Amino acid sequence: MMHLFTQFLLALFATLGFAIIFKVPVRHIPACIVVGGLGWITYLITDYNLGSPVMGCFFGACMVGLCSMICARLFKEAMTIFVIPGILCLVPGAKIFYTMEALLRSNVEDMAHVGIETLMMAGAIAMGLLVMGAIIKVFWALVHKTVDIKDFLKKEL
Amino acid sequence: MEKKKQKDIMKLALRAGNIMMTSGAEIYRVEDTIERICKSCGIEDVDVFATPTGIFMSTDNEESSNTVSYIKRVRSSETDLTKISRVNQFSRSFTTTDMTVEEGNEILDDIENSRPYPFWIRALAAAMVASCFSVIFGGGALDFCVAVIVGLMCYLISRFLEKYEMNFFIRGFCCCAFAAFCALLAAASFDGVSYAPVISGCIMLFVPGIPITNSIRDFLSGNMLSGVARLTEACIISVSLAAGAGVVIKLWYMLGGISL
């Protein structure tokens, strides 16, 4: 539990750093760092329970997508502002390094193992954002009644 | 509508789109902003095609049969989410109030010249990112201290190279090579410093998070061309980061500094 809390704090500070580097408007920084911290903690919990960093990245990305959608609606801002600093924590930077290191040791087996995991983690981030984006799109279409289900069914059937 | 006015409106819309694109917005937002600005001024027939390297637009006016098209080459610059947010607000207020084109241009001037964070704060933020990630990736207190210094210097080098218009491959390569060199030097000089967390922390500063995010959002909104372009950019950046760190570690190993 203590370990989780430290990691959460570190992720908060890391996201704060990213938010400043990418020049997030000052009034949105608190929301940004919370999104980043929640994304990282989701990654850690999923990774711990399922034992797979790939699934961790997927659910982390889903979390970031969901939270930033909420923030975007709340503050009437572009979603990008919250997604970018939040998602950066999940990008497998350390895995890139370990793939390289395995390559240097001419350990092809390790390299393939870590390399594929890196690629899959990047893919999982993409999938998470994609799935969340699609869900949000359908959700808002239903809320705003841009697609009327009854009408749609009548026409199709 | 006379041709001059039509052109002025298009130039304003194109400028707003250009600012957004260079600051790292997704394609959908850029196209949407340009279309809204044009439509709010009474140009009904607008078509925009935006890619990460250029914006194409053409408008047609029924009454005076004026067809005007513009091509704007987009030069990439650094990500600036404040600019995206401000242009977003600008387009909202431009389309809902009766702001003139001149006033709009003044606001865009102001947005273009805005500098939300001074340089030294961003450099410190970079140091914070590198050091936090070095601890997340299993470093100790000493690694934290080393990563603060290395991260700061990496960011300075990155800005320096950007000023001399080095491309992003060379930039990533040089920064990571430098980070690896410093980390190895620190690991050799002090007991208790391990180079792996420090290098991974510094790599996190340059990982292609923005190209990945934007490419997914572009794919999702049906802009395949820019989706593929940004995905490729992300791959090339990752390769450059790994290569930079790898070359230095290999050289260090060959000179007998460490055992792999």
Interface ipTM: 0.89
Which residue is closest to B90 within chain A, CA to CA?
Answer: A77
What is the C-alpha to C-alpha distance for residues B32 and B195, in angstroms, rounded to an integer? 47
Give yes or no for A136 touching B (CB within 8 A).
no
The answer to whether the CB atoms of A83 and B84 lie below 8 A apart is no
* CA of B184 vs chain A CAs: smallest distance (Å): 13
Chain-centre distance of CA B154, in angstroms?
17
What is the C-alpha to C-alpha distance for residues A135 and A130, in angstroms, rounded to an integer? 9
- pLDDT per position as a tens digit, A48-95: 899 889 999 999 999 999 999 999 988 888 888 999 999 998 988 888
How do strand B66-73 and strand B45-51 relate by DSSP bridges?
Answer: unpaired
Which residue is closest to A3 within chain B, CA to CA?
Answer: B136
Which residue is closest to A102 within chain B, CA to CA?
Answer: B260
Long-range contacts of A44-53 (CB under 8 A, 24+ apart): A44/A4, A44/A7, A45/A4, A53/A92, A53/A117, A53/A121
Rounded to 5°, angle at Cα A74 from A73 and A80: 55
- pLDDT per position as a tens digit, B180-217: 999 999 988 888 888 889 999 999 999 888 898 899 88
What is the C-alpha to C-alpha distance for residues B84 and B19, in angstroms, rounded to an integer? 8
What is the C-alpha to C-alpha distance for residues B242 and B172, in angstroms, rounded to an integer? 9
- Alpha-helical (H) ranges within A76-107 are 80-88, 93-104
**Helix A53-75, helix A80-88: angle, nearest 10:** 150
Q: Which residues of chain A have a CB within 8 Å of the CB of B215?
A: 126
Tell me what percent of the residues of chain B surpass a pLDDT of 70. Answer: 99
Mean pLDDT within A93-109 = 89
Task: Look up residue A61 and give its two tokens.
Answer: 């990305």
DSSP state of A146: S
pLDDT band for position B60 (cuts 50, 70, 90): confident
* CA of A94 vs chain B CAs: smallest distance (Å): 5
Q: Which residues of chain A have a CB within 8 Å of the CB of B85?
A: 25, 28, 77-78, 81
Nearest to B42 by CA among B92, B93, B2: B2
Burial B163-190 (b: 16+ CB within 10 A, else e): eeeeebbebbbbbbbbbbbbbbbbbeee
Q: What is the pLDDT of residue B227?
A: 92
Task: Look up residue B75 and give its two tokens.
Answer: 């030069």
* Whether the predicted pLDDT of B1 surpasses 70: no
Tell me what percent of the residues of chain B surpass a pLDDT of 90. Answer: 53
